[in-house]
Structure 1
C-alpha cells in the first residue's frame, strides 16, 4: 500500500529528474525509464503518475513556468518605480532557478517541441504573454505605447536569444553579463526616446 502523502513528492522528484535528464541530453529524447531511474522510482510508477512521457514533459514545463511566475511575483513585490519593475523582470529571467544549464536545455527543448505539440505551444504562449505583460507594466510609464511595445518585444527577443546562445557554449551560465546586455538595450531605447522629446 502506498504511503500517504508520497504522490506529490514523487511527482516533484520525477519533474526534477526530467529537467536533469533533458539538460544532460540536450533534447527531449529521454525515456520514462531513464527519468524514473533518476527519480528513484519504477517506470511503472512514473507511468501511473503521469500516464506517458508527453504528460510528464508537459507537467515539467508547467512546473518551470510556475517557478518563473512565483519568482516574478516575488521580484515585483514592492517595486513601484517603472524602471525598477522592468529591471526586476529582466533579472528574474536570469535568476539561478531559471538560468542554469539544465533549465536552459529544458527551455530550448520545449521550444522545439512546441513546433509539433499544441499543449507545449499553448504553454509557451502563456509564458510570452506573461513576460510581455510584466515588461509593459513598467515600460508604459517610460515610453509612448508603440515604443513600449517595441521595447518589450526587443527585451523578450534578447532573453530568448541569450538562452539559445548560452546553450551553445560550455561552462557555467553568466547571468550578470546577460542581465547587463539586456539592461544596455533598455538604456539605449530610453535614451533614444529622451532625445526625441
Structure 2
C-alpha cells in the first residue's frame, strides 16, 4: 500500500506506468528503473512510497480491482432490480468489456494471477475479487434458483468467466465479449430450465 501523504496525482501515473511496462516487457523484466522512467519520476519515489516493486504491483492490482468494482456497481445501478438475467449479463460484461479488456490491464491481470500463487498478500487480493464476483452472482441467482443451486451455478459462471477470459487473453485476437456472453447465457439457460416449474 502507498504511504499516507503521496500526492494522489502520482498514484494513477505510477499505476499506468507499471501496466505499460508489464505489457511491454513482462512482469519479471519490469524493473523499478523502467517503471520510474516510464512515469517520469525517480526510483526513490517508488521505493519511498511503495517499498519497491512488490508494493507498486499490489497498488496497481488494487487500482484495477477498484475500477472493476466501480464498473459492476454502475452497470447494476442502471438496471431494474427484478431483471436478474440482465443483471447477471452486466456482471459478465464487466469482465470482458471496457477497462478490463484493455491490453495493458489484461497482461497485468495475467502477471498478477501468476504472481499471486506465490505471494500471500496478492493471493488475498485475488480471493477478495473472487468472493466479490460470487457475491454479485449469488444475489441475482438466489431469486431464480434454490439457494444451494444458486451457489453452484454462481461458481459455474465464475469458472466460465475465468476460463473464457484466460483463453481470450492468450489469443492474439483478444477477448470476444459477445461469445463469452452467449456461452454463459447458454449455461445459465440450461440451469434455469432444470428448475422451471412443471406445467400440464
TM-score in terms of structure 2 length: 0.88
Partner of 1:13: 13
- After superposition, residues 146-157 of structure 1 pair within 5 angstroms as 146-157=148-159
What are the Cα deviations for residues 35-84 of structure 1, in whole angstroms up to 9, with x where unaligned? Answer: 11111222222222322100000001100110011111101114312222
Count of residues in Structure 1 that have an aligned counterpart in Structure 2: 193
Correspondence 1:96 to 2:76: no
Counterpart Cα distance in 1 of 2:198 and 2:58:
46
Regions of 4+ moved over 3 Å: 25-29
Counterpart Cα distance in 2 of 1:18 and 1:103:
10
Partner of 1:56: 56
Structure 1, unpaired ranges of 5+:
none
The answer to whether the Cα contact below 8 Å between 2:21 and 2:30 also exists between their aligned partners in 1 is yes
Greater RCO structure (CA 8 Å; 6+ sep): 1
Instruction: Out of 103-112 and 164-173, give the one that drifted further.
Output: 164-173
Structure 2, unpaired ranges of 5+:
none
Partner of 2:168: 166
- Return closer, same or farther for 1:145/1:90 CA change in 2, 3 Å cut-off: same
- After superposition, residues 113-192 of structure 1 pair within 5 angstroms as 113-192=115-194
Question: Matched residue of 2:165: which SS?
Answer: helix
Question: Matched residue of 1:141: which SS?
Answer: coil
Instruction: Out of 101-110 and 121-130, give the one that drifted further.
Output: 101-110
